Chain A
Amino acid sequence: MQSMDLFQGKYIGTMDLYPQQAPEFNRVHPFYEHLRQGRFTTTRCKKCGSKAFPPRVVCPECLSDELEWVDLPTEGTVLVVTEEEVGVPLGFETPLIHALVDLDGQLKIFTRVVNARVGQLKEGDRVRLYVFPVPPVPMEKGRDLVQVERVYYAFEPVP
């Protein structure tokens, strides 16, 4: 695109769909490292025991900064399904399917569901964590440019 020539191929963080995951930019980077191991995790407060999602660096209940990583279920039950067949945002394909998923009573997340056809997903179906690579970030380290590999997650039907 001609008008973008001035960027000379540079990475533009303000247009990045996915979060920065490098430890240099994000203190909850272990979440993404756990995703690579197939784990869905969050933080729990060592002081008061309360669990928050998304992961924190400060407990929202007692404001302690002593937190530990704990596992959440990687499977859940579908409560409500929505299917977008028109006008999905850049970076996503039609149909864009979302579901309100109950992670066995621990958390209800409204999340994307992949590997499902329109009309396939029903209330009561089981879905499981699905981890996939997303574009790396070319990050400046001194005079070098390093590629920060990244992952993100959605859910998929349990076959």
Chain B
Amino acid sequence: MRRVCVIAGGMCKWGVRNASQRDMFQEAARACFLDNPRISNKDVDGLIVSSAYTERCSFQTHLAPLVAEHVGIKPRSVCMRVELLCASGSSGIITAYGLIKAGVADVVMVIGGEKLYMPQKWEVFYSEMASVDHDWDGAQGLGLPPAAFAMVAKQHMKQFGTTEEQMALVSVKNRRNGLNNPNGQFQEPIDLATAMNAKAIVRPMKLYDCCPITDGAAAVILACEEKAKELTDKPLVYIMGTGQASVHNMSANMPDWTTWVALRTAAQQAYKAAGIGPAQINVAQTHDCFTISEIIEYEDLGFCEKGEGGRFIQDGQSDFGGKVPVNTDGGLLSCGHPFGGTGIRQAIEITRQLRGDATRQVQGAQFGLTHNLSGFIAAHTVLIYGREA
């Protein structure tokens, strides 16, 4: 089996954009090619597009050929769209990785993003109810995630003594890290008092505990090792292992709200494939859609013991200089979350950390991890990246 490398990555400006979906895909592709001037669109033989709400917010299906046409790529190996809501981007990367490994494609661009802001804001909230089981959870007025994560947070607080302050510390850290990514939605650090005194969304979740709604796109190029050596003079970053798992979809079938069984399975699968464990991870980008999510992810990714997640952030273990710096580019809380773009944004930050050219560098990082959750905490996606020692 061939080894697969990430050889370029870039994103457009994320936030409330005066731009259409196709505008942002063009901007992201250009940023990706600018990251590695040795690659041109003629070198790319495959294209995978990741987008969840393209039909709903842009009334557009059959997206891959449209994007290919717009970014001057003429796919001849693979040309398709991949969707797993919030993990669409990571799913696109896994798809490209598998296809390159198997020899179906050599050089593939994975590009993902969303246009979520509509001329009237109610529409995206309404569409979100199709993100959960529409017939059974959506019709209960679920779909906008704050209620579900507030319910999770209340249980974690009760079971393990996690505090609102510890959750707020996650948003303070990630807003500070957001300054490392000038393309992120927010460039405004906040202090603990601001986070604690913010307006309630669904208690205990307050404004800064929640990631925003975001327009944006991001792209990476993956290549087989042989092509990668021709097409880049930067250190090679390899995909070492992947895992995806799901044990339920509708809320009624969630086995445990505070221990995410599917995340543990996906992580174990990825660690096993990479031949390393959580202790070897030097930097991670996890799915901090809400502050409580990041705290539970520390635990279920194996960075700390179950129930110790609150302590982990409080002790600075997930910050620069700690055990595992998490969301070094600001995560979803600061960069925002255009569903199909997020996993790709995470891959870009990890790639730069492992190449040694990140805005704020985790010194000597050799192994990096990305994680997404999607839907009603219904699926988890983990990728492990590494550079040659």
Contact = CB atoms under 8 A, between A and B. Distances in A.
B147 A96 contact: yes
Q: Which of A53, A86, A89, A109 has most chain B Cβ within 10 Å?
A: A89
A84 B253 CA distance: 23
Contacts of A12: none
20 contacts: A53-B253, A54-B250, A54-B252, A80-B151, A82-B154, A84-B144, A86-B199, A86-B201, A87-B144, A89-B125, A90-B126, A98-B140, A98-B147, A100-B257, A108-B254, A109-B251, A110-B137, A110-B142, A110-B252, A112-B142
A108 B136 CA distance: 14
Contact of A54 (B125, B135, B144, B146): B135
Contacts of B133: 54
Contacts of B252: 53-54, 107-110
A87 B201 contact: yes
Interface in B314-328: none
B200 interface: yes
Contacts of A7: none
A72 B78 CA distance: 48
B210 to A, nearest CB: 10
5 A-B pairs closest in CB distance: A19-B135, A110-B251, A92-B141, A112-B140, A82-B147
Contacts of B155: 80
B141 A88 contact: yes
Contacts of B134: 19
A55 to B, nearest CB: 9
Interface in B182-214: 199-203
Interface of A: 15, 17-19, 53-54, 80, 82-92, 96, 98, 100, 107-112, 152, 154
B201 A152 contact: no
Contacts of B146: 82, 84
A155 to B, nearest CB: 10
Interface residues of B, number: 35
Nearest to B149: A82
B139 interface: yes
B150 interface: yes
Contacts of B147: 82, 84, 96, 98
A90 B125 contact: yes
B268 to A, nearest CB: 24
Nearest to A110: B251
B129 interface: yes
Given A89-B126, A110-B148, A98 B142 contact: yes
Interface string B140-176: 1111101110110011000000000000000000000
Contacts of A96: 141, 147
A130 B188 CA distance: 45
Contact of B141 (A85, A98, A107): A98
B154 A80 contact: yes
Contacts of B129: 17, 89
Given A19-B134, A84-B147, 19 more contacts: A18-B139, A53-B250, A54-B133, A82-B148, A82-B203, A83-B202, A86-B201, A88-B125, A89-B122, A90-B126, A92-B141, A98-B151, A100-B151, A108-B254, A109-B251, A109-B252, A110-B142, A110-B151, A110-B252
B128 interface: yes
A85 B146 CA distance: 11
B154 A83 contact: no
B136 A54 contact: yes
Contacts of B200: 85-86
A91 B257 CA distance: 27
B98 interface: no
B151 A82 contact: yes
Nearest to A93: B141
B138 interface: yes
Given A96-B147, A112-B140, A87 B135 contact: no
A51 B169 CA distance: 43
Interface in B227-263: 250-254, 257
B157 to A, nearest CB: 11
A154 B137 CA distance: 11
Contacts of A19: 134-135, 139
Contact of B139 (A85, A86, A87, A152): A152
A108 B254 CA distance: 9
B259 to A, nearest CB: 15
B138 A17 contact: yes
Contacts of B201: 84, 86-87
Interface in B62-111: none
